[in-house]
Amino acid sequence: MELAMTMVAASSPASRFVGFGHHTTTTTLRYDHDQRRRPCSWTGIEKKIPFPRNRIASASAYPRFLSQLNKDSPRPKTYQEVTKSARQMFAREISIQSKDSEISIAKVLFYIAAEDEAFMSFNRERDAQSLMNERESTQDQSDPSETDAEELLQLDGKCISDWLSEIDAISKDVEAELVSRDIGCHMVQVLEAVNVVLFDLRGFKRTSITLDPEHSYLHSVLNCRRSTAFLISVIYIEVCKRLDVPIVGSPVGEDFLIWPKTEYPEELFKVTSGQSLFSIANGRCVDDPGSMASDLTAKSLQDLDIATNRDIIGIALANLIRLHWRRATKSSPGLMLTSPLSQLNNISSSNCPLLRPQDLRLAIAAAERLLILQPHNWALRRDLGMMLYYDRQYGEAVQELSICMAFAPPEEEAVLKSFVERLHLLRLISSLKPLGSDRLTVP
């Protein structure tokens, strides 16, 4: 399916550019734009081959951390409603019944952020309640079930529609910039106007990869205006879509590159006013000799796999898995997800390293959502199972790894089988009461 929206004759100043046509590209895409070895293994890609439409049984349809929201938690129903609603709306938006071109990348990324924010808010409120020594405080007693589901999803005090309006406002600023210049709407002028609004007037900046979650969620990027090139490119695509300017993209090395959709790629590399269309859209990485982007030509551009909307969402989720796993393992740098598979004789609950629980569970949630996109990606399911092992959710880990074995290559299946057998034992041991726990004690 195509990434970009079909061009229409519209009243928008940007809708009448010249020299660009349409074509359809079939994609097979890696979900990691860094080809170097990494400690995490969700970088491989699921091949796009037809599978039966029946879905694999999995707990990923609902966030696993909901089990933590017990009756003693502050406002448990509110958090349950928010996280369930966010996951359900995410799944509905990217379901196989949806045409790829009709999927709203921005809306899906806001759903992802809303679920994670609800989990972090739950942890913050639970911690605050502990510090207050469970002192009574005024709580909102309204019944969330009586509220529109999407209205429950609040991000920094705004609902999803408000955040979508933020992107609408940027596109209107671009239109105003074009009108103020009183210029024709050739693609060069349109992209220059987008750059002026995004980077000069609104102050967005591309940053290097960081461990700061603020740079990894779309709503917080719209607030702080700092992010990696990938999310800036997503904003660029969304703004141009509202201007009826189709923009496509592809991961190239460590970068996610975007360009106007065209049947004449040589037009992208023609230098006008000191810059080509390709460099206007992608910034300095195009001129960096250390970047694979600097080697691209009109011919090599045609060989790239164009990312679909689902692919872009997959990249965002893979980035979140990587971010939260690295944060979770901060006290054990370099810890690999699959290390226990090669150390079967040392598997025990006491040997399992202690990781930061909130970040580990956020990584698990991102992997669950990515599995909704790629239910037959055995490597991703293996990694989810290993994260559940690190989180000491042995029963859930057994479930995911057992499903994984049905799709894994024979050599991987043998390793997983031995590991799952040991997990069954760990699961049994962890369910037993400590010796003497039920003995009577003298007061």
* Token duo for residue 218: 């779309």
Residue 127 pLDDT = 59
Residue 346 pLDDT = 63
310 by Cβ neighbours in 10 Å (0-12 / 13-18 / 19+) ranks as buried
Helix (H) or strand (E) holding 278, with range, is helix 277-282
The number of helix segments (H) and strand segments (E) in the chain equals 13, 6
Report the DSSP pairing between strands 255-260 and 247-252.
Answer: antiparallel
Residue 186 pLDDT = 80
Residue 253 pLDDT = 84
Report the DSSP pairing between strands 275-276 and 247-252.
Answer: unpaired
What is the value of pTM for the model shown?
0.79
Other C-beta atoms within 10 Å of 103: how many? 19
Report the sign of the C-alpha dihedral through residues 9, 14, 16, 22, in that order. negative
Residue 132 pLDDT = 55
Give exposure, 177-216, as e/b (b: 16+ Cβ within 10 Å): bbeeeeeebebbbbbbbbbbbbeeeeebebeebeeebebb
Classified as helix, coil or strand, 222 is: helix
Other C-beta atoms within 10 Å of 399: how many? 17
Residue 79 pLDDT = 77
Residue 254 pLDDT = 82
Residue 125 pLDDT = 73
Cα within 13 Å of Cα(426), Cβ side: 26
Nearest to 335 by CA among 317, 359, 306: 359
Nearest to 372 by CA among 145, 27, 86, 114: 86
Going along the chain from its start, the domains and CATH numbers come out as: 59-133+147-154 (no CATH), 335-431 (1.25.40)
DSSP letters, 402-434, are: HHHHTTS-HHHHHHHHHHHHHHHHHHHHHHSPP
Distance of CA 21 to the CA centre of its chain: 30
Residue 24 pLDDT = 39
Query: What are φ and ψ of residue 43, in 5° steps?
Result: -75, -20
The mean pLDDT values, 10 residues at a time, for the chain of 443 residues are 36 47 38 37 39 42 55 57 91 92 96 93 69 46 46 85 97 93 76 94 88 92 93 96 95 91 90 85 83 88 94 97 95 87 68 87 97 94 96 93 94 93 86 52 36
